[in-house]
Structure 1
Amino acid sequence: MKKNLAAALALAVGVGVVGAGAGFAAGTADDLINARQAEMKVNMKAMKAFVAILKGETPYDAAAVQAAVKSMTDAQAEGVAKDVWNASSQTGATVKTGAKPEIWTDAAGFAAAWKDLDTATAALAATTDEASFKAAFPAVGAACKGCHEKFRQAE
């Protein structure tokens, strides 16, 4: 878990808001949208693994939980490095996005939502048994839900 991920994301979002149209983003709007959608797909895959453990469909495995959390944090770090939440990517030329404008108009709220996810995934990574996993997992689900409700368009 990168403790500075939320701060880096907040900085990236803030720079993106200030620098909209400045042309410094790492790719076209479509490239950035595709990259952040790939990040969300990594998160969804990890969540499916977590839910399978929670439901008892898959036995708890600390290494598997660690690997899934690592995949999420690595994807987030890559998103920050690519500046995928840059304000220039609010609308794609050919790629549709589910991101709401509030991501950029409420950058502090968006950064706080990412911090919540970062904190929850760190707690999940620290689990050592099924009981601690089941106690920590709801915060991850709540962080995802909270962000999606405010910052993701309904499908």
Structure 2
Amino acid sequence: MNQVPGTEMSIQDILNFLPHRYPFLLVDRVVQLEPFKSLKALKNVTINEPFFQGHFPDYPVMPGVLILESLAQAGGLLVAGSVPDQMQGKIFLFTGVDKVRFRKPVFPGDSLYMHITYDRHRMNLWRMHGQAVVQDRVAAEGMFSATIVDREDQA
């Protein structure tokens, strides 16, 4: 994995960059990637998602924390796509969120687009802005920070 797959990433590219797997992989496709600038990714939300069994059976709404996780995973893909050579044997860990706002619920059948904009990085600490968008309306947004660490450092 020494090169960026291009301006788009298929599910196979995503699986090569992210450690997440079902049922916690929350990015289906990267539709646009500009290293060190921005990323646009897609999550197709379906009624088959396991979280809808309990959130809520009579009014299925995607949990806000999972919308944030989708944004965090998309942010990880922006980093991986910006510095793919530095990701060998590494993992991208969430370190914080700021100024998070939920503006619109996300329902089964929605196409959830994650718009990630690079803010800055210093050494292995990265900061970016994320917006989750459904039908041109912001569903959630916030500032995200994360760090690149050795996979062996996890405990």
TM-score, normalized by length of structure 2?
Answer: 0.30
- Structure with the larger helix share: 1
Which of the two has higher C-alpha Rg? 1
TM-score, normalisation: structure 1: 0.30
Between Structure 1 and Structure 2, which shows a larger proportion of strand residues? Answer: 2
**Structure with higher RCO (Cα < 8 A, 6+ apart):** 1
